[in-house]
Amino acid sequence: MTKIGLIGCGAIGTEIATQVSEGRVGGAQLVALFDMDAAVANTLAQQLGGSVPTFTDMDEFLSAPSLEMVVECASPSAVKAHAENVLAAGKDLLVISSGALTDTKLFQRLAALAEKRGLRFIIPTGALGGIDAIRATRGLLEEVLLTTTKPPRGLMGAPGFKQWETQDIQEAKVIFDGSALEAIKLFPANVNVGATLSLAGLGPDKTRVKVVADPDSPGNVHQIYARGSFGVMRFTLENRPHDRNPKTSYLAILSVLETLREACTSGPRIGT
Ligand SMILES: NC(=O)c1ccc[n+]([C@@H]2O[C@H](COP(=O)([O-])OP(=O)(O)OC[C@H]3O[C@@H](n4cnc5c(N)ncnc54)[C@H](O)[C@@H]3O)[C@@H](O)[C@H]2O)c1
């Protein structure tokens, strides 16, 4: 069994904790929960039957008996605050708030620390697809564009959407068009996918991201266009928003669960 602890007990954390506790994630076993909101962590622990300890102090969390892998599903600020401590404590690290990693210095420090300590540092595909193909063609890519379209309610609260929040958006509007690096600053909870895509391909400066608000959008829609000497790739995902947090797509949760299954179980591995 791989003993895992979660940072963040919100929409994603709750689903992961539930499925791991029900034994549906291969060899993963939940041993610790951390959230800056103690009540949220305690509520989740109670839902799970009360046997998983909760923490609001990172040193105590990292000292939880037999903890081996930390799964971050909280926020980019949680990655900035805790990721280095996790690896320094000798724990494997899985990061879903990949927007934090567009800080290339932080990304390189974490990658170097993981390599030095022989630890796994995993960034799941998240609410996206096609990352295997982007990675495989990395050296040949000339252009990568991500267009993310969400209903306006899925963009509420983002700094880049502030001026639009009071407007009655009746048709699709391009809210942002720029680099993945800028996109993640303005839409920190919306375009982690752009960050992951950029880390796999051309990098945060050279990956272009468009954010569109569309009241008729069928969900959180991500379209990838990538071009290079290998040819052209187009991927479209129409994701169902999570009931508890409409900014988050249900696919993001499924992606973390599948990544965990792969990391915590032996057996054949399909795909890049
Ligand atoms: N990579 C992807 O494709 C992808 C897709 C969806 C969501 N995400 C990201 O995953 C993260 C979690 O999403 P969610 O829908 O579960 O969010 P959520 O808001 O439902 O839950 C986040 C939880 O983390 C806690 N938290 C936030 N910052 C913290 C910190 N610094 N220290 C400790 N606890 C902290 C909050 O109290 C909350 O309980 C977000 O950063 C989101 O942007 C990534």
CATH number for the domain spanning 146: value is: 3.30.360.10
Asked if residue 112 belongs to a domain, the reply is yes
Mean pLDDT value of segment 231-240: 96
pLDDT of residue 244: 86
Looking at ligand 1, which residue's alpha carbon is closest to its atom 8? 97
Nearest-atom number in ligand 1 for the CA of 188 is: 43
Tell me: do 117 and 147 sit in the same domain. no
Q: How confident is the model at residue 246, as a pLDDT?
A: 83
Q: Are 143 and 238 in a shared domain?
A: yes
Structural domain contains residue 271: no
What is the rounded average pLDDT of the residues 53-75? 97
pTM over 0.85: yes
Domain with 260, as residue range(s), is 2-127+251-264
Asked if pLDDT for residue 265 goes beyond 90, the answer is no
Q: pLDDT value at position 245? A: 86
Return the pLDDT at 16: 97
Distance (angstroms) between ligand 1 centre and the Cα of 242 equals: 13
Tell how far the Cα of 232 is from the centroid of ligand 1, in angstroms.
Answer: 33
Mean pLDDT throughout 82-96?
98
pLDDT over 90 (residue 37): yes
Same domain, 56 and 105: yes
Question: Which pLDDT belongs to residue 268?
Answer: 86
Residues 260 and 226 in one domain: no
Q: Considering only residues 190 and 206, tell me which one the structure prediction assigns the higher pLDDT.
A: 206
Q: What is the CATH number of the domain that holds 37?
A: 3.40.50.720
Tell me if 269 is assigned to some domain: no
Query: How does DSSP classify residue 245?
Result: -
Q: Which tokens in the block code for residue 160?
A: 């880049």
Ligand 1, CB within 6 Å, residue ranges: 7-13, 35-37, 40, 73-78, 81, 96-98, 126-128, 189, 192-193, 196, 245, 248-249, 252
Mean pLDDT of 43-70: 97
> Which sequence positions are flagged as catalytic?
222
- Tell whether 149 and 214 lie within a shared domain: yes
pLDDT for res 190: 85
In this prediction, residues 147-171 reach a mean pLDDT of 95
- Give 178's pLDDT tier (boundaries 50, 70, 90): very high
Q: What is the pLDDT of residue 266?
A: 83
Whose CA is closest to atom 39 on ligand 1?
A: 10
DSSP 99-157: GGGGSHHHHHHHHHHHHHHT--EE----S---HHHHHHTGGGEEEEEEEEEE-GGGTTT
Atom 6 (ligand 1) nearest CA:
248
Give the count of domains, the chain: 2
Ligand 1 atom nearest the C-alpha of 252 is: 5
What's the average model confidence in pLDDT over 77-105? 97
pLDDT at 118 over 80: yes
Strands (E), 151-245: 173-179, 208-213, 220-228, 231-239
Could you give the CA distance from residue 226 to residue 45 in angstroms, rounded to a whole number? 43
- Mutational pocket test of ligand 1: of 7, 12, 60, the residue with most ligand atoms within 8 Å of the beta carbon: 12
Task: For ligand 1, atom 30, name the residue with the nearest CA.
Answer: 78
pLDDT for 189 equals 86
User: Is the same domain home to 152 and 103?
Assistant: no
More confident residue, 48 or 267: 48
Q: Are residues 80 and 121 in the same domain?
A: yes
Ligand 1 atom with least separation from CA of 195: 1
Same-domain check for residues 87 and 188: no
What residues contact residue 266 under an 8 Å CB cut-off, 6+ apart? none
pLDDT at 211: 98
Q: In terms of domains, do 53 and 160 share one?
A: no
Pair 26, 108 in one domain: yes
